[in-house]
Structure 1
Amino acid sequence: MWILISYTLIAIGAATSSVEELISHRRTRVVLSQTRTRSALTVATSLFLIVASMLVLAATWYVRVPEAPEVGGALLILATGLVLRTVIIQGLDGSDRMLLCAGVGTASWANLQPYANWLGTAAWLGLFILLSLAYFDSGLAKVRHRGWRVGRQFALTLNMKEFGNKLVAGLLLSSPRFATLASWGVITLELAAGPLLLIGGWVAVATGALLAIMHLSIAVLMGLGRFFYPFVGALCFVIAAHPW
């Protein structure tokens, strides 16, 4: 069930980011000085990904077998679109890169697992490594930043006009100790995510739940919902398809 949920989240993430790309295309085309050819390819790729996402959702919940050929084929189409998107569309962010990793990783597993368990394990390991590195790099960047170490940057990030929550930011700014504790909680979780997920069992489940709560909080408090779908989708898959 959780593997099916992971496919669903990844497909929703791809569709959501593609719809946003279409909505903001006129503005980004001017900002990035896109040629007519690149602009047309960007629109075509976004439309392709929306259709591919719908195909994944339909195949996933009609067949309901994670390794079924129909599901694997739909995921492969989506993964192909995500690869093309990386080549064609400019200005992709961290959520887009994780969406690519999650899409390619799950498509590889779904198509290789039926042939041999070790091939499925190799596909799982690839996505696990990329997901772990993403969290570790994020945590390491925060450790190197004094503002994050003392907690003030956490509060200032939430106090941003574009992405933030004034109520929570005010609470953190008025309570430096609580801000430091919250900041180090996030840092520790990100740095330890890889090893904890690798253990498997209830340790991986608890770690995944904490990370999902973190992403949900970011989506609700900062309006950055695009990160929720690929990261939580990848987490669901890594935990549910754990080879041991």
Structure 2
Amino acid sequence: MRCFRSCHAVVSLLLAIPAHAQNQQQMPRDYRGVETIVPGIFVTPVPNAPFTATIEILSHENLPDGTVNTRTTTAHIARASSGRIYNERRQLVPTSFKGEPQLLSAHIYDPSSRLNIFYNPFQHIARESIYTGPPAPPPNTTPARTPVNNPYFKQEDIGTQPLDGLTLTGIRKTHIIPAAMSTTGKDVAIVDEYWYSPELSIYMIIKHNDPRTGEQLVAVGNVERHEPAASIFVIPANYKIVDENPPEIDSSPQPAEPMPVQK
């Protein structure tokens, strides 16, 4: 992917995500370090913008002995014309790894029915629940609001760039850690970049750089703007479905500690 290679040459990596502009007022905090679990990208459940794509994640983690732990992974995402979304998380593996990394979890959400499904490939269990509202972006997948009138925080527009026929708009967020608090004896600048696609309503690239802990990059590539196969949104046949919705409230006696109803 052109953008992924250029980002890699400039900064080793961060995690991306995507989210919808309507969620800006309730964003999680900015990413603060290289994590073992990288959430990836949040696919917003908006209609009339179908696509499939892959997510490339590259992680350079600075270790206490001065070496760098470099890992990567590839995951798949999709969205139907109805707004139904599919997202997955896969294991971070060494760069020498061949093949597709192990699937760790998958998420399906249908905005028309509000049915939310997380399935676990290790236990072969799919957990279903009905959301009262749209799903929230996982932490570190969308930019937080920059504090106002705080000299240690800065946000700036960084223009546009092309990717897979789309035009992305970028922002850069810089958080200065004063020398007295940085554990390095000097000021440290934590820099996060977010590149958003208005056409797809997702963040296509997110880069993170903290000189103390490392760098990460999450980038969306191989975008195909067509209706995904219906099978993508189907729970595998050998999975046990667990209904995690609370019991409906009525006048009949209720158990003291209601358990999830299993299908």
For Structure 1 versus Structure 2, the TM-score category normalised by the shorter chain is: under 0.3
Greater radius of gyration (CA):
2
Higher strand share: 2
Identify the structure with the greater helix proportion: 1
- The answer to which structure, 1 or 2, has the higher relative contact order (CA under 8 A, 6+ apart) is 2
